[in-house]
Structures are given as C-alpha cells and as structure tokens.
Amino acid sequence: MSTLDTAATRTSDGGRLLRRALRTDAAASGALGVLALAAAPALVDLLGPPAPVLVGVGAFLVVFAAGLLVLAARPVVPRPAAWTVVLGNAAWVAGSVLATVVAGPSLTGLGVAVVLAQAAAVAVFADLQWLGLRRMG
C-alpha cells in the first residue's frame, strides 16, 4: 500500500461519522420535540414562549428527527441531503440566537439559557456532520 493509499484510508470512514452525527442529532431533536409537545403548558411558565410556539417547534423537531433517521439509514447518505442538514442546522443556530434577541423580553432567564444551550448543541451537530461529510471521501 502506498503512502497515498494509507492517507486516504485514514481520512475516509465510509460515512460512519456522518451517520453517527445524524443519529445523535435525531435522538436529541426527537427528545426535545417530544418534551415540547408533551409538556408545552408546563414549559410556558418556565421558559416564557407561548404554548403554540412550543407545540410548533416540538412538532417540527419530531418530524426533523424522523427525517434524520431515514437519511442515516440510507445505504449511501446523499451529499446534497447531508449538506442541507448541515446548512439547516447552521440556520437553526443563527435563528436561535436571533430569537433570544427578538423574543428576549418574553423569555425567562431559563428560557434564554435553554435556547442558547440547544443552539450550542446544534452547532456541535452541524460541525460533526460537516466533518463526517469531509471524511466520507
């Protein structure tokens, strides 16, 4: 095996990192979505946004999580779909930060912390998914 072949083997993981990142994103998104759907009335006082916003976000996250699982289960993860997830996650992070500015007065301190914490987690998922795309070869 040449040096070039060894380097290629070291950097190509056949999509394992991407699949793992997609599945982890799906688990976190799905869990947060189910929590938002199931506990929206209780979360209003804790976090600040109105129940319909929490229900809408929860429903979106459950559907998004299902889509990520379907994508991760494909024999080959299509690059355009994976890039859409990465860019969508980046947009979610930016939107979350913007939401704390725009909706800041209606959010509680805990609400701001939760929005920013989930944005940080989504940024990590986007980074891992981007790295997974690079490693796919």
Per-residue pLDDT tens over the stretch 65-113: 999 999 999 999 999 999 999 999 999 999 999 999 987 788 999 999 9
pLDDT at position 19: 96
Dihedral over Cα of 65, 57, 122, 90: its sign: positive
CA dihedral 9, 10, 13, 17 (to 10 degrees): -170
Cα–Cα distance, 64 to 130 (Å, whole number): 18
By residue range, what is the domain housing residue 29?
13-132
pTM: 0.86
E strands, 2-92, in order: none
Q: How many domains does the chain have?
A: 1
In a domain, 77, yes or no: yes
In a domain, 118, yes or no: yes
